[in-house]
């Protein structure tokens, strides 16, 4: 993945390379990203490729009136089209986090289907509660966007994240 201060949506900028199988493929990908003229790639992240066809997203946004708010919903390339999210004001209890999972329209994606296990709801609840805690304990954090969260054997795995800090004038 190519990254940099001006890069917020890597996929839209075609900065995510998948299925790199060997060192030669890695070097070719690196050179291609490094030599891009349309976007400044300052750093590179090499990580294990996580596969899975169920994608979720979670995030945090600091609201001027309510403070840190946690968001959960359907992620992936259709996230903006489906607009299936729910929001709670931090702090989140275990009940709040579990309730968020039941609030999305596509909640059945969290159940077992097509030979895939159900999501580990306790692990997902821990992630959501942790986001709320992060927002409460760190005033400098304006936003967090974790997407996609893929399900690997039912466990939620954050594949990418973006953290936006408040500018000094906002603090």
Nearest-5° Cα angle at 128, 115 to 68: 150
Q: State whether the Cα torsion 34-40-46-52 is positive or negative.
A: negative
Q: Is the pLDDT of residue 170 over 60?
A: no
Residues 121-143 pLDDT 10s:
999 999 999 999 999 999 999 99
For the record, the structure tokens of 137 come out as 């304990």
Say if residues 101 and 107 touch (Cβ distance below 8 Å): yes
DSSP 114: T
- Tell how far CA 140 is from the center of its chain: 19
The total number of residues shown for the chain amounts to 171
CA–CA dist 38, 103 (Å, integer): 40
State yes or no: pLDDT of 168 exceeds 80.
no
pLDDT in tens, 34-93: 888 888 888 888 888 888 889 999 999 999 999 999 999 999 877 888 899 999 999 999
């Amino acid at each position: 993945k190519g990254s940099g201060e001006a890069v917020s949506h890597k996929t839209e900028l075609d900065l995510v390379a998948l299925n790199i199988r060997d060192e030669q493929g890695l070097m070719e990908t690196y050179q291609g990203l490094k030599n891009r003229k349309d976007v400044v790639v300052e750093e590179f992240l090499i990580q294990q490729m996580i596969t899975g066809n169920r994608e979720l997203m979670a995030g945090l946004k600091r609201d001027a009136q309510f403070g840190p708010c946690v968001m959960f919903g359907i992620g992936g390339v259709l996230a903006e089209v489906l607009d299936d999210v729910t929001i709670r004001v931090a702090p989140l209890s275990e009940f709040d986090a579990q309730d968020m999972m039941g609030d999305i329209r596509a909640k059945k994606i969290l159940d077992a289907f097509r030979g895939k296990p159900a999501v580990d709801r306790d692990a997902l609840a821990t992630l959501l509660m942790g986001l709320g805690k992060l927002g409460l304990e760190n005033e400098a954090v304006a936003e967090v966007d974790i997407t996609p969260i893929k399900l690997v054997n039912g466990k939620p795995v954050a594949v990418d994240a973006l953290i936006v800090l408040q500018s000094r004038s906002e603090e």
